[in-house]
Structure 1
Amino acid sequence: MVRRPTEGPGHKDEPDLPPNLFVIGLLHDLKEGGYSRRAWAAFWRASWIRSLQIFQLNDELRASWLRFSIVGVMGIMLAAVAVLRTYGTTEAILFFLTSLLWWGVLMFDLALHLGLMVNLESGELQSSLGWPNRLTEVRGFAAVWVVWGAHWASQGSYLPLVGVFGLAAFTDLVDGWLARRRHASTRWGRLYDPFMDGIFFSVAAISLAVIGILPQWLAALVTLRYAFPIVGGIAFQLVRRRTLKVRHTPWGRASSASIALTVFAAAAATFFQVPFTTIGPVLYVIVGITALGAFVTILLKGIEQV
């Protein structure tokens, strides 16, 4: 029987993230071991064995991961061909290698965490990755293409940069909507959605700052906005020895939306050769206010608020 999402104040239609008893047990063992090297080794060994067991015992989920991995490699190859025709052999080789390396890192991490593909409504492990999770993963991968887009933008070619931002914006808008519409919210999605946002938008802001499109202080603020809850969340788990609930808050959503709007508008303004100095300061103020609201919410309500 499917349970409807648990609703609470400010969290309408967002299912509660139940505790992960396996991880909680590992955290307690880690604490009892005094966080020694031996305790950490046992922690990672148990995590590795558990990940391998889930990967090997769930044929359909493993096949879904494999198909997604292969499609990603094919997409990278096609993109590399386009780069070859536009920017030359050297750029294409470097583009292909860096993209393939980052995709490999993400797919390896995904394989290790297939056990998090638990539907939050049914409590059962899904038989496939699901489109919401695929889109979230694509957004994280797009970070490496933002770096390349910024590189080409510095040479006067802005279309790739705007295209990557468009792709990321699409995945950011659609993944959550699909998860809610199809009742396909997973533990992995709840944990990794803000993490992938942090990777993409931090890299995007830094890349745009490097080529002079955004101010450096804004890139630092964006990076801090996402790094603070991630680092704090890890520390929280180690100290409190329980897994995170991860609550999306209005301030957190507003902060992410303002950051997305600012970096996309900056790239688009450069592409269309429109002065960004007119609306830029207004967007910077909005980013600052919403980031402050997100920080205050975390300080008042806990590190689990994103």
Structure 2
Amino acid sequence: MNIPNALTLIRFLLVPFYLYIYFSGFSNSFVYAMLIFFVAGVTDVLDGFIARRFNMITKWGTLLDPLADKIMLLTVLFSLSYTNIIPHWVFFIVFIKEALMIIGGFTLFKKHETVIAAKYYGKAATVLFYLAIGTLIYSKTYGIYLLYCAIFLAFFALYNYLVHYMHIKKQVD
């Protein structure tokens, strides 16, 4: 296992830790949970940088890295909607979008051993989600506004992913 894949694994392990802290009732548990979320974001940036810089890109890393991101994001959105910090529909609509992308990604990988790498608009949506969630700590109004922008950008990424998916499927079938 290389360093980028190890960082991705750490991100998977941070998910239950985040949930434990978020729902613990400890003093400042919300702030600590958000710190865990942002540590996960830093590991995402680091694993991508290291993988590209030192040519450590693997098919498994290309597949598991976005999965770790999606699971962490969905976990955070679930906890925020469960505690009524964000509207419940936000979690459900992002869940549906992410499920479609996960299913499509695994289908291409399983049938054709093809992986669609993350594109800049998908990465931008992820950054915007992090910004929105970070902003929620200080301002619910601005945080929700940024969250809606992130959802719009995420669906733009989904549309482009589907176009790319159909193009690849046509080529390999």
Partner of residue 14, structure 2:
142
Q: What is the CA RMSD across the aligned residues, in angstroms?
A: 2.4
Structural mapping, 1:107-146, within 5 Å: 129-146=1-18
More helix by share: 2
- Mapped to 2, the partners of 1:162 and 1:284 lie a distance apart of 15
The answer as to 2:61 corresponding to 1:189 is yes
1:213 is aligned, of 52, 60, 85, to 85
Structure-to-structure mapping, 1:264-303, within 5 angstroms: 264-266=134-136, 269=137, 274-277=138-141, 279-302=142-165
Identity in percent: 25
Q: Equivalent residues in 2 for 1:32-181 (5 A)? A: 129-152=1-24, 157-181=29-53
Distance 2:106 2:61 in 1: 17
1:223–1:303 Cα change, 3 Å: farther
Residue segments in structure 1 that go unaligned for 5+ positions in a row: 1-128
Q: TM-score, normalised by structure 2?
A: 0.84
Give the Å deviation of 1:179.
1.0
Give CA-to-partner distance per residue, 1:13-59, whole Å, 9 cap, x none: xxxxxxxxxxxxxxxxxxxxxxxxxxxxxxxxxxxxxxxxxxxxxxx
Code of the aligned partner of 1:171 = T
Q: Is the Cα contact below 8 Å between 1:236 and 1:303 reproduced in 2?
A: no
Cα distance in 2 between the residues matched to 1:178 and 1:254: 19
Asked if structure 2 preserves the Cα contact closer than 8 Å seen for 1:195 and 1:230, the reply is yes
What's the offset of the Cα at 1:165?
A: 1.5
Change (3 A) 1:304 1:221: farther
The alpha-carbon deviation at position 154 of structure 1 amounts to 8.5
Distance between the aligned counterparts of 1:188 and 1:212, measured in 2? 36
Q: CA deviation at 1:263?
A: 2.6
> How far apart are 1:262 and its partner, in Å?
2.2
- The one-letter amino acid of 2:145's match is V
Q: 1:172 to 1:237 in 2, by over 3 A?
A: closer
1:253 aligned to 83, 101, 123, which one? 123
Using the TM superposition, give the Cα deviation of residue 250 of structure 1 relative to its aligned residue in structure 2, in angstroms: 2.0
Contact 1:229–1:304, Cα closer than 8 Å, also in 2: no
Aligned residues: 168
Q: TM-score normalised to the size of structure 1?
A: 0.50
* 3-state SS of paired residue (1:158): helix
Q: Which AA in structure 1 matches 2:12?
A: G
Structure 2 unaligned spans of 5+: 169-173
How do 1:13-32 residues align onto structure 2 when only pairs under 5 Å count? none
Please give the per-residue CA displacement for 1:254-304, whole angstroms capped at 9, x wherever unaligned: 2222222223333xx1xxxx3322x12321231122112112102222169
Q: 2:132–2:144: 8 Å Cα contact kept in structure 1?
A: no
- 1:90-128 residue CA offsets vs partner (Å, 9 max, x unmatched): xxxxxxxxxxxxxxxxxxxxxxxxxxxxxxxxxxxxxxx
